[in-house]
Structure 1
């Protein structure tokens, strides 16, 4: 299927590795000009260089309002108006370095940083880009959430709460801009097998002596027993969903939560 993204300009946050990199590669493969945003300039430059013509690396901090605005202006100055934004930057923020903590162990500051990383960063980008897209009569805002936003775990509740808020933000933005040609959706993956997640899992009890592939399989049963397809999600699975939502094929879809979870969420 031709996704008809030739000439579109896309901005992907958190694009230096993992899910963000896969999304950037998929959009670029479909003909879009892609700006990759993250803090790590070295990693960004390597990804952009591997993509070649039409790829732009832009250093920026998703938790800094001015940095985000500077990055957006730099992208539009070099590539043109942004048609598609994929808000992929997000995750847990921990002052102790431990990510999967019990509720009573998480201080206010970590709740606030996790909220800022996952929700306010999207608010700031949407506040800048949604009106510009609306003025042109076409746009796509795609937010990367998590199954945890609907089906939380007993640990890392601060992350689940932030992703739940992101889902609600997405629905509200969809209603605010649907009649202006700007479609806003969320993609919610489950247990995405990335280098970052493998590093985290390698620190957990029971991980001793396991190879990377054995590690992914071992914790599939422990962490996500409801994934019916029997494997972790791949970054490319998420990227395929994003490309679809960015395309004209999804022109009548807005305000939806597209779960890329292999059946992990047990409710409709």
Structure 2
């Protein structure tokens, strides 16, 4: 059995606030994340994390609206598929379709809120818990491997890395989700304009509502840009404090 002292130590480790990161760390991690999102090869590799969040958003929205979730598939080309059963139209289906493209940015915003309170360990452990929960829903080998590798890296950093490395890793990941949530929306519209994504989330939403696909793409972009600005404001707290601009 786990002793009371052990549980108390675990609780303190999980919920205690770490010191403010150096302002330089905040800037460097933002630059690294932006470089990964902007550069072709790093983006092709790291985009798997965005796909995980995208499909997780579909899955969570499906469960929240009472749909029956059949499973998630993650593919090596960074595409994914979430299958759910229920009414083929109506608010539940609309919310499920809408959630995918905004999920990475909203997850990034939630992460920025935790980092704004310096809850670095809590952020990492919540990420591991969400990846494990998603693991039981995945129905293909690549998806299982992708989640195991991602979760393993996050767990290893949270358990073995120094506080400085944990901070750098956490800030980079959250910046990446905030930046990385914007790029797929631009890619979506570019592919749609070439007729290459006739079954995109935006096109499916257009068939379920009176609104055209471009409106849904615009809404995806607006939500993600607002999340980016709000998340950046939260993450920039140490810089503002160092400049004496916060109370």
Place the TM-score, normalised by the shorter chain, in its bin: 0.3 to 0.5
Q: Answer 1 or 2: higher relative contact order, Cα 8 Å, separation at least 6.
A: 2
The structure with more strand, counted as a fraction of residues: 1
Give TM-score scaled by structure 1 length: 0.31
Give TM-score scaled by structure 2 length: 0.33
The structure with more helix, counted as a fraction of residues: 2
